[in-house]
Copies of this chain bind each other. A is one copy, B any other.
Amino acid sequence: MAKKNKFPKNAHRGFKGEIFEVWQWPQKMYDGTKETFEMLTRPDTAQVIPVIDDKILILSQKQPDSPKAFYSLAGGRREKDESALNGAKRELLEETGYVARDWQLFKKVSPSGKIVWMIHTYIARDCIYWQPPRLDAGEKITVKLISFDEFLALVDEPTFYEPELVNYMLRAKADKKIYKKFHKLLFKK
């Protein structure tokens, strides 16, 4: 479904930028008056927790408009006419050089009430190194293999900005059952 179908029929696009579109419509309020309501669209994000043996591949990256390095999953913007899964596969290969056969959707969240935007998080098991990464001109990325417990410890790393995932990681740290469930989901054991 096109993103504009998420808005009322009388919505119009006020602006189309590089990433964001701004949509507006007259919204009937509870007292019968009307106000201009406004929402955005942005391309969906597809990201990956890549699993290699008993380790997880984590990225440390920099971007040209900010000097600070940050930890992240592999991933990026889903391209037009690309499925979320194919976006995840493409980003994993471009950013890390790895491919995988065994993919599973882990989480799908819509992080903002005012932005039509989905983050699809996949688990990619049994990743194998395929070719050197091909980074965009706007990316500086290094990769690191970490254990499951090191991965869960990222909840205390302020530059790992994944509030929804961190939520689940905190639950896994606090509750043995969820810990085991998450471990099994990632490593199949």
Contacts and interface: CB of A to CB of B under 8 A. Distances in A.
Interface of A: 8, 14-15, 17-20, 22, 24, 27-31, 33, 35-38, 40, 42, 64-65, 111-114, 136-140, 155, 161, 163-164, 166-167, 170-171, 173-174
A38 B17 CA distance: 8
Contacts of A8: 65
Contact of A29 (B111, B137, B174): B137
A161 B154 CA distance: 22
A113 B161 CA distance: 9
Q: How many copies does the complex hold?
A: 2
A40 B20 contact: yes
Contacts of A35: 137-138
Given A15-B22, A22-B15, A29-B64, A40 B37 contact: no
Contacts of A163: 111, 163-164, 167
Contacts of A27: 64-65, 138
Given A42-B114, A163-B163, 7 more contacts: A15-B15, A19-B38, A20-B38, A29-B138, A30-B64, A30-B140, A35-B137
Contacts of A24: 17-18
24 contacts: A8-B65, A17-B22, A18-B38, A19-B114, A20-B38, A22-B22, A27-B64, A27-B65, A29-B137, A29-B138, A30-B64, A30-B140, A33-B137, A35-B137, A35-B138, A111-B163, A113-B161, A163-B163, A163-B164, A163-B167, A166-B167, A167-B170, A170-B171, A173-B174
